[in-house]
Amino acid sequence: MVQAEYNDVIVNKPWGYEYLCYQNEVLAIWFLHIRGGERTSLHCHPNKNTGFVVLQGQVELSFLRNKMHLNGLDKIHIFRGRFHSTRALSEDGAYILEIETPEDKHDLVRLEDSYGREGKPYEGREYESPKNAECLWLREPEEGDTTCRFGACAIRHFAPSGRADLAGYPETDFFVVARGGVRARENANILWPGDVVDGVSLARLSAAFELIPDTSLIHIRQ
């Protein structure tokens, strides 16, 4: 069941803020702004997988033993139980879409934190403020025009009618599986809700395997 707990609020963080911009029965997508030079806690999610798409800016993603840099529109999957921390390297900060499967903001373990939150749970109601007109919200495909913009990025939620709708996209375009996906056969899914895939890979996989009925995808491009 989709919960409305965070639909109308911004959650303020010592490093910036985040808010829910899409949610269905299997996943949630959050919009994060990390101020320049600030970083999230070194934390993990024991029970959920996370996908990142950097919309704008440059970030340093740290794990227990290594680091990597991401720029817009870079993506990465972070599997359950893997500790990670994100620092904004850009002076103007970084803007990120974070995909959670399944959605559970309280599935959080903090190991280290620059703001003294080690071992503490997710932020409570005292850190919330109302959303404003600038906040993104991704509508369902049947709700009409679903395209919204952030900076140089266009974000669209659509339901493909078949393989032809997924052909011809460049590798610089990214797709988040919101529902359904691609499968080789029954109970053998290749792409699941929450997965992030580039346009070339999506076309190749959907041409070779079956597009699951009622699939919908969130398309991100610059």
| Least confident stretch, 2-6, 83-87, 200-204 | 2-6
Q: How confident is residue 1, by pLDDT bands cut at 50, 70 and 90?
A: very low
Domains, the chain, in order of start with CATH, read: 9-130 (2.60.120.10), 141-221 (no CATH)
Q: How confident is residue 194, by pLDDT bands cut at 50, 70 and 90?
A: very high
Average pLDDT of 92-113?
A: 96
35, 67 Cβ separation under 8 angstroms = no
Neighbours of 5 (CB within 10 A): 12
Neighbours of 66 (CB within 10 A): 7
d(C-alpha 63, C-alpha 104), whole Å: 21
Q: Which amino acid is at 156?
A: R
d(C-alpha 122, C-alpha 220), whole Å: 28
Q: Distance between the two ends of the chain, CA-based, in angstroms?
A: 33
Query: Among residues of the chain, what percentage have pLDDT more than 90?
Result: 94
d(C-alpha 152, C-alpha 147), whole Å: 13
Identify whether 102 is preceded by a cis peptide bond (ω within 30 of 0). yes
Residue 201 main-chain phi, psi, to 5 deg:
-65, -40
Q: What is the pLDDT of residues 134-190, one digit of tens each?
A: 999 999 999 988 999 999 999 999 999 999 999 999 999 999 999 999 999 988 999
Residue 81 main-chain phi, psi, to 5 deg:
85, -5
Q: Read out DSSP for 60-124?
A: EEE-SS-EEEEETT-EEEE-TT--BEEEE-STT-EEEEEEEES--TT--EEEE-TTS-TT--S--
DSSP 8-state assignment for residue 3:
-
In which residue are the tokens 């309280």 written? 106
Checking if the pLDDT of 2 tops 60, the result is no
